[in-house]
Amino acid sequence: MAAPQWQAELQTQLAQRGIETHCQVKNGVIYLVLKAVKLPSPNEIIPPIISHCNQYQPVAIQAVKIYGQRVGDPFPAWEYEGELGAGFQPELIASTPGKIPLWQRVKQGDCDAISTVLTRALAHKKMQAQVTQTQGILHIQLSAPALPERAIVVKLVEQELRRYPMPHSTGIRLTATAGETVWEEEFELGQSATGKRAIPPVSPPPPATLPLQAIFTADPRVSKTLWIGLISGLILCWIPWLRFLLGYLVIIIHELGHTVAAWGMGYPAIPALDFIHGGGITLQLAERWAIIPVIVYGFMGFLIYSLRRHSLMVMILSGLGLMYTVIYFSRLSELLIIAMGHGCELIFIGLFLCRAMTGWGCQQPGEQTLYGVLGFFMLFYDLNFARQLLFDPVLRELYLMGKGEVLDHDLVRIAREFFRVNLSVVVLLFALGCLLTPLLSWTLVRYQKHWRSGRLQWLGR
């Protein structure tokens, strides 16, 4: 009898018993997954299945592997593996202890099984896991040549453990070690593992200053990422046609800065590319929408009310509200909208370099390096732009003429309308901002333990 027919008859027989059957034949083995609300025991269901297969003797089939799974449970409750033929003895099923599946052992709290699944989940980070249990708390010891960002490790561990139906109140104490670097974190499974009950690092905080050599050799992986980003960004900016193509990324970010600032100051705006004169342009209405500041003030009021028990945060938010009011009802709003084009470029440069140094938010291999390449490319792109305005008379004259000889460029408007200084002064300030942005990014990463600790202390006031 043909294989599809014996499979259909087997599925029909099991369906009459309320069992949903999924069958697959591969490499001479029949794989059966049995799903039922009330799952029969292996002694009840395996002998009829084996007898049915032996009766029809499917071609080129030597063995069978059966998984019993309850409806609603993502993991099998039991599994069986055996050979077909006359040698099958049903009475041996009960007497032969079956191998407990790995996922079943994880559900039962087997520390070796948990160590195995965590090691597999963290293999792409080159991390090894060792799990012990004391007084209902899982102690997870992770070791690696170089530790990824703390938040990423905690998130990966929690996501892997939550795949298994373990109690949500299971306490987790996570310890990660890489050379002399050690940190610990404690949380409950199912809750946000972002350091709400974080334990201070075992190692003391680093000194206020480090030798220049120690800065770049503390983490070889980060140094490699930064060097790749620096060299690649320089090459991309050096080759004209690559600089032209990737320059549209800078243009989009530039116009995005204008757009966000305009909306914040009450002017509806849309970023766009200028295919006539090149570059980009932000289309902005001349009249303000009164509803926008109402929304801003309402959001600030909601934050102040939510954090009313934290006096320091209330003072900070009140100060921001006062600052917003001063800017909104003065010419500073126009200056902010104009300056946020190049200002947004500097913000993204800093963000990309921070991600390149920490891996924060990175999920895919190579993503951290890509942030380094983009960050350094934008940095060199802006520095080259400043260099041309300072030392290239032709480009400087074209820039002073404006877009289509109608619209003045951003730095020209800032120099003429607000600061009343020579264009070179504003360009130098922009170049200085470009040079300070990587330094600020490194400072934030270098002292992140200190400012994060200070932030938690402020929130606690």
Q: Which of 97, 127, 149 is the last residue of a domain?
A: 97
289/438 same-domain check: yes
Kindly report the pTM of this predicted structure: 0.54
Least confident of 90-104, 141-155, 201-215: 201-215
- Token digits of residue 399: 């820039």
Q: What is the mean pLDDT of the chain?
A: 80
- Is the pLDDT at 124 greater than 90, yes or no? no
130 or 188: which carries more pLDDT confidence?
Answer: 130
Which CATH number is 73's domain given? 3.30.300
In a domain, 215, yes or no: no
In a domain, 210, yes or no: no
Average pLDDT over residues 337-363: 89
- Is the pLDDT at 190 greater than 70, yes or no? no
pLDDT recorded at residue 205: 42
CA dist 341 and 279 (Å) reads: 12
What tens digit of pLDDT does each residue of 46-82 get? 888 888 877 776 666 777 888 888 887 666 777 777 7
Task: Domain of residue 52: give its range.
Answer: 3-97
- Give the chain's domain count: 3
Contacts of 261 (CB under 8 A, 6+ apart): 336, 337, 340
22/86 same-domain check: yes
pLDDT recorded at residue 438: 93
195 or 360: which carries more pLDDT confidence?
Answer: 360
139/255 same-domain check: no
Which CATH number is 114's domain given? 3.30.70.2960
Q: Are 186 and 218 in contact (CB under 8 A)?
A: no
What tens digit of pLDDT does each residue of 418-428 get? 999 999 999 99
In a domain, 217, yes or no: no
**In 359-422, which ranges are continuous DSSP H helix?**
367-391, 393-401, 410-413
In a domain, 127, yes or no: yes
- Is the pLDDT at 37 greater than 70, yes or no? yes
142/231 same-domain check: no
404/270 same-domain check: yes
Tell me how far CA of residue 131 lies from CA of 23, 42, 84, 172, in angstroms.
36, 32, 39, 10
pLDDT recorded at residue 192: 46
CA dist 251 and 274 (Å) reads: 10
431/307 same-domain check: yes
pLDDT recorded at residue 431: 95
What tens digit of pLDDT does each residue of 292-333 get? 999 999 999 999 998 887 788 889 999 999 999 999 999 999
What tens digit of pLDDT does each residue of 425-445 get? 999 999 999 999 999 998 888
Q: Are 225 and 369 in contact (CB under 8 A)?
A: yes
Least confident of 136-150, 163-177, 185-199, 408-422: 185-199
230/156 same-domain check: no
pLDDT recorded at residue 161: 79
Q: Which of 97, 128, 149 is the last residue of a domain?
A: 97
pLDDT recorded at residue 198: 41
- Is the pLDDT at 127 greater than 80, yes or no? yes
251/373 same-domain check: yes
280/372 same-domain check: yes
- The helix or strand, by DSSP H or E, that contains position 150, with its residue range, turns out to be helix 150-162
In a domain, 211, yes or no: no
Radius of gyration, CA atoms only, the chain = 32
- 441: exposed, middle or buried (C-beta count within 10 Å: 0-12, 13-18, 19+)? buried
In a domain, 298, yes or no: yes
CA dist 84 and 65 (Å) reads: 10
In a domain, 240, yes or no: yes
pLDDT recorded at residue 412: 92
In a domain, 274, yes or no: yes
Average pLDDT over residues 188-211: 46
172/256 same-domain check: no
pLDDT recorded at residue 421: 93
199/57 same-domain check: no
Q: Which of 66, 97, 128 is the last residue of a domain?
A: 97
pLDDT recorded at residue 426: 94
- Token digits of residue 283: 């289309």
Average pLDDT over residues 208-220: 43
234 or 101: which carries more pLDDT confidence?
Answer: 234
What tens digit of pLDDT does each residue of 384-398 get? 999 999 999 999 998
141/69 same-domain check: no
